[in-house]
Amino acid sequence: MTNKTVITSDSPEQLLALAAADFATLHAATLEAKGHMRVVLTGGTLGIAFIKAMEDLQLDLSGVSFMFGDERFVGLSDPDRNEFQGLSQLDDESALRLRRYPSVEQPIEIARAQLDQELTEIFGDNPGSKEVFDLVILGVGPDGHVASLFPGHDQPGLWVVAETESPKPPSRRLSLSYRALNGPGHVWFLVSGSPKAPVVSQALSEENCKLPLARVTGRSETRWYLDKELSDAL
């Protein structure tokens, strides 16, 4: 069973500093053991701020490849894209190692199938059976969604699923699947704010919680970084 750790901080800024310092430790250990590291990033305010905090450490990231856990199905230059926001924080060399999601130049199901096939050709046809990603970083919505996996919206797909009726705009999104997100050794949740306390409480305390945030765990550890406002509300 995965080891579940809760780390509390006084503020979102301290949360980011703690997570970035822990990333530096995991980065060094992973590169020593494997020679490379694959990281799944998250969007949102905390997720994009984490990328900046990671870059500010001035680590040698030449052995690290990145991919976002999900992407809004909009144009490549649309500010709503996680990649658009994330690329503004990554240095030029790291940006070249960011695996990009398709955009609206093609129908969403064709885009999903192409990315699914691409990942299958690289990593195989059994997501979750091996540790493809070393670290998955996730945010959490007040409804308990992670990436673009929403409650009651189980979509078909091997590595990648297409969401066409997202409760949160924009309505069309591509996301890594539950199976893909459950393969990594380490899963870290970055969560702040009391409105998210009910779903975080369920995920931490209910053994059979069915919310999306409770359906993603790491092989070695699942780590929750919470700010004081949220932890006080649990």
Average pLDDT over residues 217-227: 96
Give per-residue pLDDT as tens, 51-67: 999 999 999 999 999 99
pLDDT on residue 128: 83
Q: Is the peptide bond before 156 cis (omega within 30 degrees of 0)?
A: no
pLDDT on residue 2: 67
Q: In this model, does residue 3 exceed pLDDT 90?
A: no
Give per-residue pLDDT as tens, 131-175: 899 999 999 999 999 999 999 999 888 999 999 999 999 999 999
The pLDDT confidence band at residue 122, using thresholds 50, 70 and 90, is: very high
Domain 3-233 of CATH type 3.40.50.150: no
What b-and-e string marks burial along 221-232, b requiring 16 or more CB atoms within 10 Å of the CB?
Answer: bbbbbbbbbbbe
Distances (CA, A) of 129 to 100, 114, 124, 179, 182: 23, 21, 9, 9, 9
Q: Is 166 within 8 Å of 172 (Cβ atoms)?
A: yes
